[in-house]
Amino acid sequence: MAQVRSMRADARRNHERLLRAAVEVFAEQGEGASLDDIAKRAGVGSGTLYRHFPTRHALLEAACADRIESIAARAGELGGLLPPGEALVEWLNELGAGMIQIRGLRALLGSAVGDREPAGGGTGCCDPLKRAVTGLVDAAREAGVLRPDVEPVDVLRLAHGVATASELAGGEGAHLRRYLELVMAGLRA
């Protein structure tokens, strides 16, 4: 029994070290980062990495989970502070900045709002973002700020595209707010 507890504690430590290393390496190299580099940085073998995270997608989801929850929580905060249209734009700006800063988040969101299931399957890690945007879009539609035919998934797909365009235009997201304003002009009622 003592040996099982020891292994569990050791497995937990390995899991935590792998997540810390994955966050760092994905931030440096993007979602295509070498899994071997992540295992080495965590001080474990690649077999240990695959026991904890059987696919790259699973590791990427786990590495981004806290940030996804944080960005999703901001929707409620902004919704309580700003009028519906402004809250939506500000949240989309923060989401876009997150997709630029957290390399890999854009890939996760893209697969979550795409028509195809991600390679290796998905666990619904972006579901908090989907719920967050639904609340903001519903409030903006009810306030008459958004066209009635605008769907939450449309907004997430457009936010994904805006983050991509902004990154292409300079890499640091300097154009993010401008591109969001252009998109929102087309979505307004």
In a domain, 59, yes or no: no
Digit-coded pLDDT (tens) for 117-156: 555 555 688 999 999 999 999 999 999 999 999 999 999 9
pLDDT band with cut points at 50, 70 and 90 for residue 16: very high
Name, of 5-14, 16-25, 97-106, 177-186, the range with top average pLDDT. Answer: 16-25
Digit-coded pLDDT (tens) for 81-98: 999 999 999 999 999 988
Q: What's the rounded Cα separation, in Å, for the pair 57 and 53?
A: 8
Q: Are residues 74 and 162 in the same domain?
A: yes
Q: Contact 52/14 with Cβ under 8 angstroms?
A: yes
In a domain, 58, yes or no: no
Digit-coded pLDDT (tens) for 38-68: 999 999 999 999 999 999 999 999 999 999 9
Helix 105-113 / helix 56-81 crossing angle, nearest 10 deg: 90
In a domain, 105, yes or no: yes
In this predicted structure, what is the pLDDT of residue 3?
39
Q: Are residues 91 and 138 in the same domain?
A: yes
How far is CA 169 from each of CA 15, 29, 101, 120, 179, rounded to the nearest angstrom? 37, 19, 15, 31, 10
Q: Are residues 111 and 145 in the same domain?
A: yes
In terms of Cα–Cα distance, which of 98, 111, 11, 97 is closest to 61? 111
Q: Are residues 142 and 167 in the same domain?
A: yes
In this predicted structure, what is the pLDDT of residue 2?
44
In a domain, 128, yes or no: yes
Helix 127-142 / helix 84-101 crossing angle, nearest 10 deg: 150
pTM score, two decimals? Answer: 0.83
In a domain, 26, yes or no: yes
Q: Contact 121/59 with Cβ under 8 angstroms?
A: no
In a domain, 98, yes or no: yes
In terms of Cα–Cα distance, which of 111, 163, 159 is closest to 133? 159
Host domain of residue 77: 64-187
Q: What's the rounded Cα separation, in Å, for the pair 145 and 154?
A: 16
CA dihedral 113, 114, 119, 123 (to 10 degrees): 20
Tokens of 118: 């991600």
> Looking at residue 164, which CATH number applies to its domain?
1.10.357.10
